[in-house]
Structure 1
Amino acid sequence: MQLFIGGACAGKGDIVTARFPDACWLKAGTLGVVGKGDALAGWCERLASAPVVVITGWADWLARALADEGDDDRLRQRLVDILQVMLEAEKETGGEVVLILPEMGRGIVPLASEERRWRDLAGWFNQDAACRADAVWYVRHGLAQCLKRPC
C-alpha cells in the first residue's frame, strides 16, 4: 500500500496519475465494507482486474461516516478494518492500493465540535494508514517528499 498525503490542491492527484497511469480510480464512498469475507472478495476482484487501485474522496466519506456513527473509537476501528482488508487483498493478488488522503492538521482548529471531530478522525486515519503503508509521500506545491521507505 502506498499513501499520498497533502492539503487541498497540493498536487496529489497529478503525482499519482503520473506514477500510476493505468490505475483504476475509486471514490472512498464506493468501498462498502459489509463483512470481512465479502469485502476481501470484492477487493481481490478489483485488484485482479486493475493491479493498481487508487482511492480518493476520503474527506467526504469521513464526514458521512461521522454522521452515521457517534462513537469515535468504533468508527476508527472500522477504518482500521478497511485498511486491513485492503492489505490482505494486496497480498492475495499481488496488486497495489494507493490512498490519497487529506492533510487537515496544519490549519486553524475549527470551533464547531463536529468539525473538530471530522479533523481528528482524518488525522487518526492518516496515522493508521501511514503505519500500515509500505511507502508514504507528503505532497506540497506539486512536490512529493518520501516520509517512509520504500519510495
Structure 2
Amino acid sequence: MQLFIGGAYAGKRDVVRQRFEAPHWHSAHAGGRLEAWRSLAETRCLVLEGWERWIGERLAAEPDDDRLRQAMARELDALWGWEAERGGEAVLILLEMGRGIVPLGLDNRRLRDLNGWLAQDAAARCERVWYVWNGLVKELSR
C-alpha cells in the first residue's frame, strides 16, 4: 500500500493520477461506502479517498473511539490482504486535518482525533508514505 497525505486541495489526487496507470477510484465524495471497495477486486490499482467522510458517517453510531479506530484498522488490514492475495496495489489518500489545531466541539475533535489515528495506522502498514503540499511531493520515512 501507498499513502498520500496532505491538506485540502494540496494536489494529492493529481499526484496519484500522474503516478498510477488506470487506477480505479473509490471515493466517499462520490457516495461510495467504505466497504464497497471489496466488490472492486478485479482492478489492479485501487485508490481510496474520503476517509474523513467514512469516519464521520460512523461517529454517531459508535461512541467508543477505540472500537471505531479498530474498525478502520480492520479495513486497512483487509486492503493489505487484498494486495497480497490479488497482486494489486491499494493507494490511500488521506486528508491531514487541522495542522495541530484542536477544535472546541466534541464531534469535530473526535473526527480529527480518529483521522489522525487512522493516518498513523495507515502509515504503519504502508510501504511508502508521501506528503503532498502545494502540489509538491516528499517521501516520508520511518
Same fold (TM over 0.5): yes
Structure 2 residue identity aligned to 1:86: L
Deviations along 1:35-92, whole A, 9 cap, x unmatched? xxxxxxx73x634x21000001111111111121100000000011111111011000
The corresponding residue for 2:78 is 85
- Residues in 2 aligned to 1:130 and 1:58: alpha-carbon distance in whole angstroms: 14
State the aligned residue count: 139
Check whether the contact 2:33–2:54 (CA below 8 A) recurs between aligned residues.
no
> Is 1:32 aligned to residue 26 of structure 2?
no
The corresponding residue for 2:128 is 135
- Find the partner of 2:40 among 26, 46, 53: 46
Check whether the contact 2:34–2:54 (CA below 8 A) recurs between aligned residues.
no
Identity of aligned residues (%): 52
Deviations along 1:3-36, whole A, 9 cap, x unmatched? 0000000000000011113000002442227xxx
The corresponding residue for 1:36 is none
**3-state SS, counterpart of residue 139 of structure 2:** strand
Aligned alpha-carbon RMSD (Å)? 1.7
The corresponding residue for 1:119 is 112
Please give the TM-score of this superposition, normalised by the length of structure 2.
0.91
- Residues in 2 aligned to 1:105 and 1:123: alpha-carbon distance in whole angstroms: 10
Structure 2 residue identity aligned to 1:76: R
Runs of 4+ in 1 over 3 A off after TM superposition: none
Structure 1: tracts of 5 or more residues without a match: 34-41
Structure 2: tracts of 5 or more residues without a match: none
Check whether the contact 1:55–1:98 (CA below 8 A) recurs between aligned residues.
yes
Cα offset, 1:125, TM superposition:
0.2
Structure 1 residue identity aligned to 2:13: G
